[in-house]
């Protein structure tokens, strides 16, 4: 094969040292797929693609940092709220918000006759103790670094309770709660810590929640809230602890149209979420309380999950993007108190659910 067809062989021999020096440069292709696109035979071309895909991903250049190297401060809580968009922006990208799961749920006291102050007690619904419960929760960042310090999110959570085993009552959907919200996030980029926890963010939100039913089963309320998030993450072991503390104010409604005027007496004025990861196990606790010494009412839910299957997401050829994985997790949920659903805001029950989770709090 002639690299320089216009030169005679004896002249070419004189160029051999130069050719040997430049050979590594010629062989090193900036794009391993470039040579594949020029192969006319389809089978040879696909074989070339396979060989290029099998090549190891080159390390980043000295002046090009790895894509996801955002520092120790980019913890699970920071990633959940994308507090460092310069590392990996989630702008206009639909991402998980709260937990996404499906469970078979058992209640020791089904709310057969839901009641409220305005409507009284509804007719007996003849509910089964066991039903299917599933939750879908997503959010999307619609603006970031407004005024250099505020991100804007839109979130949506839907929780459904389905009497799937209640054949005598035509297997109805007992309730579906819809919860859209708008959230302004202020990332807290600080090195200070309190009791070992580092502040990460402040959320300010507006949220509407309703069950979409007609009277006498209609329930709804609107709230404005402030939420503070802080966490701790071990540098040596896969352990992390996160807290999200939220206080809300119910936006008043006209008395004639208020389906549940006493809802704060049961659902309280805020909640506390604790999330703990140790290795592959995730544990979380969600707590509400009305903060009243007399007629104290509250709610607590404990969650535990472990991965049972992983589906890797393919890495793009020629990038240094880390290999990520989606997990299917075995999930156990235990709860006690008021407000397990919006229709049950003033009904006390305890129960347990077992099933599968796709995404956890963080």
CATH number, position 192: 2.40.230.10
Looking at residue 120, its pLDDT comes to 84
Residues 6+ apart with CB under 8 A from 239: 233, 277, 278, 279
What pLDDT shows up at residue 119?
83
**pLDDT at position 327:** 84
Where in the sequence is the domain holding 328, given as residue range(s)? 76-359
Distance CA(245)–CA(239), nearest Å, equals 20
Quick check: is 111 in a domain?
Answer: yes
Q: Is 230 helix (H, G, I), strand (E, B) or coil?
A: strand
Residue 125 lies in a domain: yes
**257 flagged as catalytic:** no
For residue 132, the cross-strand partners are 104, 162
Q: Which 3 state secondary structure label does DSSP give 53?
A: helix
pLDDT of residue 237: 76
* Cβ atoms 201, 214 nearer than 8 A: no
Give residue 68's pLDDT: 46
Q: Dig out the tokens for 158 from the structure.
A: 């839907």
Task: Label each residue of 183-209 as H, E or C.
Answer: EEEEECCCCCCECCEEEEEEEEEEEEE
Cα 168 to Cα 6, 127, 163: the distances in Å are 91, 10, 10
In a domain, 3, yes or no: no
Tally Cβ neighbours within 10 Å of residue 253: 14
Rg (CA), the chain: 28
pLDDT score of 20? 43
Nearest to 333 by CA among 361, 299, 305, 358: 305
Does the residue 37 lie in any domain?
no
Residues 6+ apart with CB under 8 A from 348: 109, 297, 337, 338
Which residue of the set 107, 129, 137, 210 is catalytic?
Answer: 210
pLDDT at 296: 95
210 domain-assigned? yes
Query: Kind of pairing, strands 115-116 and 130-146?
Result: unpaired
Phi, psi of 80 (to 5 degrees): -60, -35
pLDDT of residue 323: 45
Q: Is 4 contained in some domain?
A: no
pLDDT at 305: 97
* 225 in any annotated domain: yes
Please identify which of the residues 126, 192, 193, 208 carries the catalytic annotation.
208
210 is catalytic: yes
pLDDT value for 10: 46
Domains of the chain: total? 1
What is the DSSP pairing of strand 348-359 with strand 100-107?
antiparallel
Q: Can you tell me the distance from the alpha carbon of 128 to that of 121, in angstroms, rounded to the nearest whole number?
A: 19
Residue 67 falls inside a structural domain: no
N- to C-terminal Cα distance for the chain? 59
Which pLDDT tens digits describe the chain residue by residue (362 residues)?
Answer: 444 444 444 444 444 444 444 444 444 445 666 777 778 777 777 778 777 776 665 555 544 444 445 766 678 899 999 998 877 788 999 999 999 999 999 999 999 999 998 888 888 889 999 999 999 999 999 999 999 889 999 999 999 999 999 999 999 999 999 999 999 999 998 878 888 899 999 999 999 999 999 889 999 999 999 999 999 988 777 899 999 999 999 999 998 889 999 999 999 999 999 999 998 999 999 999 999 989 999 999 999 999 998 765 544 444 444 444 568 999 999 999 999 999 999 999 999 999 999 999 99
Residue 196 to residue 203: CA distance in whole angstroms: 21
């Amino acid at each position: 094969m002639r690299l320089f067809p216009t030169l005679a062989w004896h002249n070419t021999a004189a160029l051999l040292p130069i050719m040997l020096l430049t050979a590594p440069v010629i062989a090193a292709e900036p794009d391993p797929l470039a040579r594949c696109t020029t192969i006319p035979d389809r089978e040879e071309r696909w074989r070339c693609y396979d060989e290029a895909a099998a090549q190891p991903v080159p390390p980043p250049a000295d002046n090009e940092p790895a894509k996801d190297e955002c520092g120790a401060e980019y913890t699970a809580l920071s990633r959940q709220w994308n507090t460092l968009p310069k590392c990996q922006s989630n702008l206009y990208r639909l991402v998980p918000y709260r937990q996404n799961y499906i469970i078979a749920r058992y209640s020791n006291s089904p709310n057969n006759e839901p009641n409220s102050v305005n409507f009284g007690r509804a007719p007996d619904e003849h509910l089964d103790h066991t039903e299917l419960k599933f939750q879908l929760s997503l959010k999307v960042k619609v603006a970031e670094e407004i005024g250099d310090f505020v991100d804007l999110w839109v979130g949506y959570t839907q929780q459904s309770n389905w009497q799937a085993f209640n054949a005598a009552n035509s297997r109805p959907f007992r309730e579906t709660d819809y919860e859209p919200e708008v959230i302004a996030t202020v990332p807290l980029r600080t090195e200070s810590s309190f009791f070992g926890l580092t502040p990460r963010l402040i959320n300010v939100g507006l949220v509407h929640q309703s069950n979409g039913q007609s009277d006498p089963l209609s329930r709804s309320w609107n709230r404005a809230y402030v939420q503070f998030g802080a966490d701790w993450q071990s540098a040596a072991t896969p352990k992390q602890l996160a807290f999200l503390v939220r206080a809300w104010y119910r936006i008043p409604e006209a008395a004639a149209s208020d389906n549940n005027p006493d809802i704060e007496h049961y659902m309280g004025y805020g909640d506390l979420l604790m999330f703990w990861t140790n290795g592959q196990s995730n544990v979380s606790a969600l707590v509400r309380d009305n903060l009243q010494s007399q007629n104290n009412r509250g709610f607590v839910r404990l969650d535990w999950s472990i991965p049972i299957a992983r589906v890797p997401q393919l890495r793009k050829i020629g990038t240094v993007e880390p290999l990520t994985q989606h997990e299917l997790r075995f999930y156990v949920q235990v709860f006690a108190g008021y407000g397990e659903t919006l229709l049950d805001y003033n009904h006390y029950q305890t129960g347990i659910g077992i099933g599968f989770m796709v995404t956890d709090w963080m």
